[in-house]
Amino acid sequence: MRDRTILVTGGGAGIGKAAVLLAAQQGARVAVVDVDLESANATAEQATELGASRTLPVRCDVSVETDVEAAMAACVNELGTPYGVFANAGIDRAGLVHELTAEQWTGLIAINLTGIFLTCKHALRAMLTAGTGGSIVCTSSPASFVAFAAGGASAYSASKGGVSALVRCMALDYARHGIRVNGIVPGPTHTQLMWVNVPEPERPAMQRVIDSEVPIGRMASPEEIAQSAIWLMSDAASYVTGSHLVCDGGVLAKASISV
């Protein structure tokens, strides 16, 4: 990552923040893109302390194309064309299909799927203009491949299924330009997003259930997942494109019943 420009959406917290800090430790120039500018600023400050050669915090709503276009332009102007882009920003809203409003559905899709599309669109334009190739990593989910047993995840699952399909198509379309596109598939991870649909009093019990059900016996740290994204953006993954790196503690390998 040294002296390369890396752009991370959702970089103010969770897995995105962990990826920013890992890239910083390797001497990267890092654009921290987040809808919460205060969080982006705080992460950028930490990244500088950890060794980032330069940082750029940017406030951006990934569902708004003018925001994404401006964030990418700022990155190119201030740090240079990104070699690595981690399209990671996302939200979760639970609900059964017959109870979801159209606004809830479209709001989630706008961030989780359209936001990934817009991030990739403007990253690809910048990379193609520079002609230097690059690597894009998109955050998918086990929900892209199987339904969550707890239920109520139709909108989230649909958005992540779209992300995975988009990854495969972009990988084929841009391989000849030296641009690799891959997805990561995180399992249960200690982030704010993990608990957004779980009332606080219920979280300890939910934690125990998750720990008992994940084959590896625990939830991941954000850093463990971020390592996968950093690897995919590195030269060590130079022959990897159109793939999904599953880092889920064995969740997808497990049958649906525990006997």
Residue 213 and residue 150 in contact, taking contact as beta carbons nearer than 8 Å:
no
The answer to whether 156 is a known catalytic residue is: yes
Task: Return the SS3 of 248.
Answer: coil
pLDDT of residue 79: 98
Structure tokens at 41: 């600023």
Residue 258 has a pLDDT of: 65
75 vs 32: CA distance, rounded Å: 9
The answer to whether 49 and 25 are in contact (CB under 8 A) is no
Task: Report the candidate in 157, 72, 76, 176 with the shortest Cα–Cα distance to residue 120.
Answer: 72
**pLDDT at res. 66:** 98
Is 24 in contact with 10 (CB distance < 8 Å)?
Answer: no
CB 156 within 8 A of CB 143: yes
Ordered domains of the chain (ranges, CATH): 5-189+221-248 (3.40.50.720)
| From 83, 156, 174, 239, active-site residue | 156
- CA 49 – CA 212 distance, rounded (Å): 37
Residue reference for tokens 């950028």 = 44
Ranges in the chain, pLDDT < 70: 197, 258-259
User: Residue 167, exposed/middle/buried by CB under 10 A (0-12, 13-18, 19+)?
Assistant: buried
At 147, the amino acid letter reads A
